[in-house]
Structure 1
Amino acid sequence: MTGQAPPEERESPSERVPAGQALSSGQAPGAGQDRRQELLRRLAALPPARREALRRAMTAAAAGGLPLSSGQERLWFLNRFDPADSGNHILWCVRLRGPVDPGGLAAALTAVAGRHEVLRARYRMDGDRPVQSVPPPEPVVLERADGGADPDGAVLALFHRPFDLEHDPPMRAALIRLEERHALLCIVLHHIAADGWSLNVLMRELGECYAAHREGRRPELPELPARYADFVAWERGQAERAGPARLAFWTERLAGAPVLDLPADHPRPPRWTGRGGRVDLHVPDAETTRFEQVARERRSTLFMALLAAFQATLGAVARQDDFCVGVPVAGRGRTEFAPLIGYFSNTIALRADLSGDPSFRELLGRVRPATLRALQHAEEPFERILGALRLPRDLSRPPLCQAMFNLTHNLPKDDLLRTEMGDLAVEAYPPPETGRTRAEISVDLYRGPEGLGGSLEYSSDLFTAGTARRVAAAFTGLVTRAGADPDLRLSALTGPTGLKGE
């Protein structure tokens, strides 16, 4: 489908229309027939694949629910397995300075949810499969709280509250009052409805809808070219068209991959809990620039070089030369999916090959082609790969990829880091540590003018904060040393200043 049709209602010049709300008015005789004819013309103009996607969506809706994407299905079952786990919650907060209009914010959130059905969806079981249904647009409730001396406490309370995905929308928001004319707007989404890319879309539309409300006009937002349901249909069609070949690439590449067995400080719990901590990472600009030059000499990207450094660090800690690292990819290869909110991201498993104690330059020569081949097959849903591998059931650790790596500087974030919203000054608010992690150890980095920044998250069930800091220092130290001398072998790069042998 092509999103929402332009509203038919007309606005009276003397009336102020809240964002996301329309005034009803009469239609001229024949307007309904004209609209039907226009709809038929638009349907006839759709490409065959889009018409098929629409047919499937309508068939599913008539049967009582829309299908989920493969990623959504896994998140749904994880939520059913442990409804109180907030590990798949997404948090974004901004500080607002100026005369905040709570009604305008609520109306703006309502308008955004009205455009993106995934923000209103409910999830339930239908026989042996989960389905989603989309109720009509309804007002979004903007919760209110007093930050007092501990605004982070109010933020975390909002973040950790479980989502009832069957009965409640997968988004909530709160306005937390700070000092006079200052407040925090905090938005929490369940991952089943959004990903990192979605946050930028959300803030772009929220800013425009709030400004429109304050100025007494309609939001100037383009019609959405698709719905999330179109992505679900496209993903399923891709799996049918690709056949077994794309899946075979992954099963052959990942067959027999061992778990990453990091030495733990505490006994491993019988079931993965997602409890975690976070330590900061930083590599100064001069060292980062030198490291980037090494990557360019091997025709590699900064991402590939940092992934190689992370693999080398993990290999030294675990004393392994074979394991998998999970990498998130945006999953928005089609242009019509770019302006949508939804869970499009996928995980690709990149298998490390540290055998033979290569130099860092040689390791880059292995990582680059392996990454390029993996990206060519990145549309294969991670969940299908896990099912095809038939891994032994182990509830104590994440499947296949115990470690994750992410470099976020390529994600769109102009609106995420916006500095104004209507008549308000806006500033991103550093989120407090949530105490959750999705992997035993993960690195999340960005490239900025001051070098590399980011964080290392770790399972607090397994590791102490001191161990996490040592792993972080080993990683940043390896980046610095590899940038200075990429012909050093990994045993030298991770030697006395790393963790090997500790």
Structure 2
Amino acid sequence: MTAAERRAALIEKLAGLPPERRAALLRSLGGAARDTGGQEWPLSPGQERLWFLSRFDPADTTYNTPWCMRLRGPLDVDALTAAFTRIVARHEVLRTRFRLRGDAPVQVVLPPGPVPLEKIAFSGEADLERALKEFVERPFDLENAPPLRTGLAGLGEDDAVVCIVLHHIVMDGWSLDVLLRELTECYAAAREGREPELPELATQYPRFAVGERQRDHTEGVEFWERRLAGAPALDLPADHPRPPRWSGRGGREQLLLPPEVITPLEKVARKRRCTSFMALIAAYEATLALASGQTDFCVGVPVAGRGRSELAPLIGYFGNTMVVRADLSGDPSFHELLDRVRETTLAGMRHAEVPYEHVLAALRVPRDISRPPLCQVMFNLHNLPKEDLLGTRFADLDREVHVVPPSHTKSEVSMDLWRGPEGLGGVLDYSSDLFTPATARRLIDGFAEVVRRAGADPGIRLSALSGPFASVFREVKGAWK
């Protein structure tokens, strides 16, 4: 085994160790951090796993989360810098360092200070994407540097791109919405010489982490042990041989289903007392079953993890992964599959607060460093905010989202969807070590076919979906041989 493979094996073993064995290993590692004078708090379970992965593979940028926006108009750089400084002072998690103290990692909250707005150097607009990509993919030093960095690429007198990058250990999707909302208000307030109008924060993320570590999840862990015992890995036939270790390298393809395609399926869901989410994840499961030939596998679903109102205005890593175990045995009709998904989802939601890390540890899933554990695929349906993330104004400036194409993925296949007046939009992220862009497109086409057929005839059985009319699945399987 090479040095890289040994390191990868260690990373995966660390991520799945029970707490007591993890503490023993930390004692053997040693390495006291320097004193900073900041206040120390334990990490939440989700943070702890990301910390281990970062510590043992510092160059990995899979968990770097960017958001870039192009601003047109006279940008006030001093006001923008002041806005970032105000937000970091307001949210303790953004001025946190992650260090080893004796047997365990801690988050050290430092006093507020100025937040630098880096100048992103590039030579002409044709070079902008390279410069932004380098800025986004620069690794974080979580021990000694902030988990947030901000940059500005000036394209002209009234044209600039602002790039925000956070490590996932301090944020989730909800947090990005909070950050953009507060940034807009703080910038406007700085420009107008007034105090920003922001909701009072009743608590801070480190206090949440303390509470999470004190919670008793015994009942929930037992539920997931019963529900997920013996769940097999999903083996989607790949274009390329599976690498010996998971790299996280990925690509992305877009999808859009017009209203006339998605609306019939939504009507089917309502008649069955199901949500649109349930209908769409059922279609996703059917697609994966047809592509793989498996009827039993797990799909990971992000959940917000903010069950208390005081957590809503906070930035932090609250999100969790709920595991939905797919059951397509016995050649079910789509109606039958929808009923199964409804039961599985409702039961899972009652225990969705159990940290995914606790579930992995309890199941003792055999470690395979070539793939993500337990859930090789993910699914998410969410309502993107209309103003905070995708709004067309930033105070007195015109704004548009500037997308930096992702080069990493956390799962082999991940589908993220949102519903709008234009229909069902979304993206399919995929492991580029395994699949080609053409195969990802065929998988999207297969999903669209399932949505279309199930909406038109919800009594259709899984076997019929692989019949003569569904040539797209024959193409998929042919491509993956």
Match in the other structure for 2:395:
422
Match in the other structure for 2:80:
105
Match in the other structure for 1:205:
182
Distance 1:285 1:472, change over 3 A: same
Tell me the CA shift for residue 383 of structure 1: 0.3
The answer on whether the counterparts of 2:417 and 2:426 sit within 8 Å (CA) in structure 1 is yes
In the alignment, does 2:61 pair up with 1:86? yes
The match for 2:112 among 129, 134, 137 is 137
The answer on whether the counterparts of 2:322 and 2:356 sit within 8 Å (CA) in structure 1 is yes
Q: Which has the larger radius of gyration?
A: 1
For 1:134 and 1:80, the matched residues in 2 are separated by 19
Match in the other structure for 2:162:
185
In the alignment, does 2:121 pair up with 1:149? no
Q: Give the residue type in structure 2 aligned to 1:426.
A: R
Q: Deviations over 1:134-174 (max 9, x none)?
A: 11011111011255223222221111000000001100111
Map residues 102-501 of structure 1 onto 2, 5 A cutoff.
102-146=77-121, 148-150=124-126, 151-238=128-215, 240=216, 242=217, 244-409=218-383, 412=385, 414-429=387-402, 431-495=403-467, 496-500=470-474, 501=477
The answer on whether the counterparts of 1:474 and 1:497 sit within 8 Å (CA) in structure 2 is no
The answer on whether the counterparts of 1:292 and 1:302 sit within 8 Å (CA) in structure 2 is yes
For 1:248 and 1:62, the matched residues in 2 are separated by 41
Q: Deviations over 1:418-470 (max 9, x none)?
A: 332332222222x1212111100110111011111111111011111111111
The answer on whether the counterparts of 1:276 and 1:459 sit within 8 Å (CA) in structure 2 is yes
Tell me the CA shift for residue 327 of structure 1: 0.3
For 2:136 and 2:37, the matched residues in 1 are separated by 35
Tell me the CA shift for residue 180 of structure 1: 3.2
SS of 1:466's equivalent? helix
For 1:274 and 1:149, the matched residues in 2 are separated by 29
SS of 2:203's equivalent? coil
State the identity as a percent. 59
Q: Give the residue type in structure 1 aligned to 2:138.
A: R
For 2:323 and 2:292, the matched residues in 1 are separated by 18
- With the length of structure 1 as denominator, give the TM-score of the two structures: 0.85
Match in the other structure for 1:47:
none
The answer on whether the counterparts of 2:38 and 2:111 sit within 8 Å (CA) in structure 1 is no
Give aligned pairs, total.
437
The answer on whether the counterparts of 2:250 and 2:431 sit within 8 Å (CA) in structure 1 is yes
Tell me the CA shift for residue 480 of structure 1: 1.1
For 2:252 and 2:378, the matched residues in 1 are separated by 14
- With the length of structure 2 as denominator, give the TM-score of the two structures: 0.88
Q: Give the residue type in structure 2 aligned to 1:414.
A: E
Q: Give the residue type in structure 2 aligned to 1:123.
A: F
Runs of at least 5 residues in structure 1 that lack an aligned partner in the other structure: 1-60
Using the TM superposition, name which of 229-238 and 198-207 deviates more: 229-238
For 2:309 and 2:85, the matched residues in 1 are separated by 25
For 1:422 and 1:263, the matched residues in 2 are separated by 49
Q: Give the residue type in structure 2 aligned to 1:419.
A: T
Match in the other structure for 2:30:
none
The answer on whether the counterparts of 1:108 and 1:213 sit within 8 Å (CA) in structure 2 is yes
The answer on whether the counterparts of 1:478 and 1:493 sit within 8 Å (CA) in structure 2 is yes
Using the TM superposition, name which of 268-277 and 220-229 deviates more: 220-229
Q: Deviations over 1:341-386 (max 9, x none)?
A: 0000000110000001111111001000110110110000000000
For 2:210 and 2:391, the matched residues in 1 are separated by 33
For 2:158 and 2:461, the matched residues in 1 are separated by 57
Tell me the CA shift for residue 127 of structure 1: 2.4
Q: Give the residue type in structure 2 aligned to 1:304.
A: M
Q: Deviations over 1:218-260 (max 9, x none)?
A: 222232111001211222233x2x4x21110001100100000
Tell me the CA shift for residue 396 of structure 1: 0.6
Match in the other structure for 1:29:
none
Using the TM superposition, name which of 413-422 and 459-468 deviates more: 413-422
For 2:164 and 2:89, the matched residues in 1 are separated by 16
Match in the other structure for 1:71:
46
The answer on whether the counterparts of 2:39 and 2:110 sit within 8 Å (CA) in structure 1 is no
Q: Deviations over 1:51-82 (max 9, x none)?
A: xxxxxxxxxx9997310011000111111222
Q: Give the residue type in structure 1 aligned to 2:397.
A: L
Runs of at least 5 residues in structure 2 that lack an aligned partner in the other structure: 1-35
Q: Deviations over 1:62-116 (max 9, x none)?
A: 9973100110001111112222221111111111111111111111000000000
For 1:64 and 1:335, the matched residues in 2 are separated by 25
